[in-house]
Structure 1
């Protein structure tokens, strides 16, 4: 493809950090760059504890386990999202309950979520979909623990604070297509000290930090390596630059595509969304994707609604009509920080 869907913005600082980690011989988990990356995430979100882990999916699995969620429990999950939240719920032995989205911002609908609550509901995973924050004030009224999945929303905000700061815990992903990357990686953030301790124990094999090889719970190796964190720590120093770079690409796309039948994803006045991958909707989405791909542009249809997939369909107690509609009409366009304006113009032209 001439234009990939995304690519990382890596500079000399990332290379310098990796060389330093390699020279020290400390390339696995728990190294100094891991700690530095965790501190930067705490400062960015205002959270009191951040634990860097191997992926955003691992972060979801660990926080669910740390909350004691398992067999017999239910967790409400939006029907429009990458599959990781629902898969994480199944991985810990619980049952995902798929919920429709609100058409005004494409995030989980608080009213629809309320209608799905039962005596077995233990949490709601609220996904800040494609950079748009969820309605956390309304979700808090559900009176069940909220887990914020901010994997796609680095740098977004509401009037109440930045993404990553909401709910009993929040998670980030630092996959290579995210605005801030460590190649692969994730993090769990919380202000609850007891929950933070359980998260760290689960991440580090359940091993007592003061008594090596004494295990107080059945944990796993969910750690981020020092090499990955070396990249992540450098990226965190460039957070504002990288987030702003993608926002500028989104602005250029909006200008280029105005009046051509492509609508940008909706946003609420109370939110300041960030750009993960620029997303547009079109009644002729599939034809536009095909035209772009013939021109060497890695444009992609968004995920199918989970409620429309055979694997997950049985977990949707009610129709998820808005999720299905967005999944049929929305598409992503190549997006990365500092994408040249002429590349944006070529991608936009390929759709027409």
Structure 2
């Protein structure tokens, strides 16, 4: 049964419709076209990068970046133990080994001290995920001396001081999946200031076909292109960036106020950081978290547990050189509440009254 209040839904309007209909009318619906160029330029300006390559998904962006950096069999890539599975899966896809690192209790992003202990002669990079929209301690990670791929998939509109998420590391990636604050339905991008790296990623995303001579291939590539039709939707959303990001942040602030009144917690944050509100996260005792999910299901409200810590998955359980207690604990105690830019006051109040207030009363 479809939940009455979904976990997330895209906030689409007349601008999106106009751009998509224009792309349809033009006939440019595949992997080239003017909306792609405009979309890439809009994202580059937003995240203050010199080059952006739009691709078919955030996961594709990770895979192409790893391949462009020459990472493959025999190499290791450090990945946080608390994240959606895509970063670790991307490492396996290129034939390298993901090495799982625990997250910091300060902000639930990859712990720079623990990461430093995991660096070996085989380490080629780190994927630093801005977990739940909270930027990593990129300054500390940079001191480790290995290439950092900033996974900004969930952190549209986040910042460290005045520096926006997506501007850190040698290269950064975004996702524009339908549950993100800024969406193109599916889709992602790679952002970097390294022109040679951007050109290599663009080449690999287009079957590694020579730009000078069609159907000549000197490398093994793939089809990772974003379509002009997808970019039309993405451009409209990118032009509404502040509106969409601010709306989710206001919703998150309301949840925080309500949770505080009821004695429930929120995910930890680091001083000097402005997180984005991708999906608002409530933190409580594991048994209370599980009851929230049951209450939501019974009321038609899509409340979900966050991802399992990667070491708890059979595919990754042997890839953790050291225990990851912070990631495991966070995974067991956190849940997402419905978060969309157009979530109504009535819907927010329904979540509070049918989910938050009952569990707070029971645990008091």
Is TM-score (shorter-chain normalized) higher than 0.5? yes
1:306 to 2:310 alignment = yes
> In 2, distance between residues paired with 1:97 and 1:172?
22
Q: Counterpart of 2:335?
A: 331
The answer to whether the 8 A contact 1:254-1:264 is kept is: yes
Which residue of 262, 267, 285 corresponds with 1:260? 262
> In 2, distance between residues paired with 1:261 and 1:349?
14
Cα distance 1:92–1:141, how it changes in 2: closer, same or farther (>3 A)?
same
Q: Counterpart of 1:103?
A: 105
- What SS does the corresponding residue of 2:95 show, helix, strand or coil? coil
Structure 2 gaps of 5+ residues are 359-364
The structure 1 segments of at least 4 consecutive aligned residues displaced by more than 6 Å after TM superposition are none
Following TM superposition, by how much is the alpha carbon of 1:160 offset from its aligned partner in structure 2, in angstroms?
Answer: 5.4
Q: Counterpart of 1:125?
A: 127
Kindly report which structure 2 residues correspond to 1:164-313, keeping only aligned pairs within 5 A, or say none: 164-283=166-285, 284-313=288-317
- What SS does the corresponding residue of 1:21 show, helix, strand or coil? helix
> In 2, distance between residues paired with 1:181 and 1:254?
25
> In 2, distance between residues paired with 1:245 and 1:157?
16
Following TM superposition, by how much is the alpha carbon of 1:194 offset from its aligned partner in structure 2, in angstroms?
Answer: 1.1
Q: Counterpart of 1:136?
A: 138
Superposed CA RMSD: 0.8
Between 185-194 and 207-216, the greater mean CA deviation after superposition = 207-216
- What SS does the corresponding residue of 2:125 show, helix, strand or coil? strand
> In 1, distance between residues paired with 2:263 and 2:82?
23
- What SS does the corresponding residue of 2:191 show, helix, strand or coil? strand
The answer to whether the 8 A contact 1:40-1:236 is kept is: yes
- What SS does the corresponding residue of 1:242 show, helix, strand or coil? helix
Q: Counterpart of 2:21?
A: 19
> In 1, distance between residues paired with 2:162 and 2:137?
10
Cα deviation per residue 1:223-244 (whole Å; 9 max; x = unaligned)? 0011110000000000000000
> In 2, distance between residues paired with 1:107 and 1:293?
29
Following TM superposition, by how much is the alpha carbon of 1:349 offset from its aligned partner in structure 2, in angstroms?
Answer: 1.5
> In 2, distance between residues paired with 1:45 and 1:87?
26
Between 209-218 and 48-57, the greater mean CA deviation after superposition = 209-218
- What SS does the corresponding residue of 1:314 show, helix, strand or coil? coil
- What SS does the corresponding residue of 1:122 show, helix, strand or coil? strand
Q: Counterpart of 2:61?
A: 59
Following TM superposition, by how much is the alpha carbon of 1:344 offset from its aligned partner in structure 2, in angstroms?
Answer: 0.7
Structure 1 gaps of 5+ residues are none
